Amino acid sequence: MKNKDGVALATLQSAQEQGAKIIASGVSDYRHNATRFLVLSKAEQPQNAKLSWKTSIVFSLKNAPGALYEALESFALSGIDLTKIESRPVAGHSWEYRFLIDFIGRHDDKGVLKALKGVQDKSSFFKVISSYPKA
């Protein structure tokens, strides 16, 4: 293994292929666990019509009744399928949350652009994390 200082959560096969020392196995506490692995790149992967795409975004909203409903409405009106929604507290800001959303579609698709503009217009913070081929 080239990088002696690295650590990874990977399959047994990957560890063997890379010559990595296995320090623990069976670390999941949930037998139906599915771990998502990502490959990060500075270069954007070109659009490929043969692939189905997912996109991940993160945003914050003002703490007001209906704020999340109004943001999510943009996806419903554009016919976009949300596949995951999580909320995380914003460090140092009581009762403020960041929402992480995965959905079917690529960030530069026409319908997706319309939905993202709707969410961004309602957000105090907004970022497209990435679009990637759906597994």
18-59 pLDDT, tens per residue? 788 888 887 777 777 776 665 566 666 666 666 789 999 999
| pLDDT value of position 16 | 83
Which entry of 37, 59, 83, 126 is annotated as an active-site residue?
A: 37
13 occurs within a structural domain: no
Which entry of 35, 55, 59, 75 is annotated as an active-site residue?
A: 35
Instruction: Show the tokens assigned to 33.
Output: 């666990």
86 occurs within a structural domain: yes
Q: What is the CATH number of the domain that holds 59?
A: 3.30.70.260
Number of domains in the chain: 1
Q: The domain containing residue 82 runs over which residues? A: 53-133
Q: Could you give the percent of the chain with pLDDT greater than 70?
A: 82
98 occurs within a structural domain: yes
Contacts of 94 (CB under 8 A, 6+ apart): none
Query: Quick check: is 75 catalytic?
Result: no
Partners of 55 in beta bridges: 103, 131
Query: Quick check: is 37 catalytic?
Result: yes
67 occurs within a structural domain: yes
